[in-house]
Amino acid sequence: MHDTGAGRLAGFLPYQLSIASNAVSDLIAERYRKRFALKIPEWRVMAILGDAGSMTQRALTAATLMDKVAVNRAVKVLEERGLVARAANPEDGRSYLLELTGEGRAIHEEVMPLALATERDLLSGFAPQEQTMLREMLAALRLRAGELARGQS
């Protein structure tokens, strides 16, 4: 039997991670879009700011692992909706801090239970020790990828 390569791709770890991530993101995006009219990049920005309180756009870009353009676009949409506001940065007068507004915090508090319920739904077929192992393996992969990107062997 001749291997066309499709079987190799299906078993290729980066491909598996990508399609799993896309499937999870699509599920979450649909739930957030229906209830809150939020796209995934916008929710990521809100989730990080909800946890951090406030941060510069540069720090936000690093924390979300999204490119600058996607973060800029998401922040602009959230500002236009009145969910995120800019504040003076007391540590650096050349930059500003982004933070959730009162309305943004209210949506964040409403979305978090939905996010946690979605996570529970996704992991319901895994035993608790498997869930822990999955999280640890994903963290280790992320760490290793960062090391390799920095040229560490």
Q: Is residue 3, in this structure, part of any structural domain at all?
A: no
Any idea what DSSP says for residue 85? E
Q: Is residue 65, in this structure, part of any structural domain at all?
A: yes
- The pLDDT score that the predictor gives to residue 6 is 57
- The pLDDT score that the predictor gives to residue 1 is 46
Measured in residues, the chain has a length of 153
- Name residue, tokens 């979300």: 64
Q: Is residue 71, in this structure, part of any structural domain at all?
A: yes
Under a CB-based contact definition with an 8 Å cutoff, are residues 111 and 42 in contact? Answer: no
pLDDT, averaged across the chain: 88
Q: Is residue 62, in this structure, part of any structural domain at all?
A: yes
Cα(87)–Cα(98) distance, integer angstroms:
6
- The pLDDT score that the predictor gives to residue 2 is 47
Domain count, the chain: 1
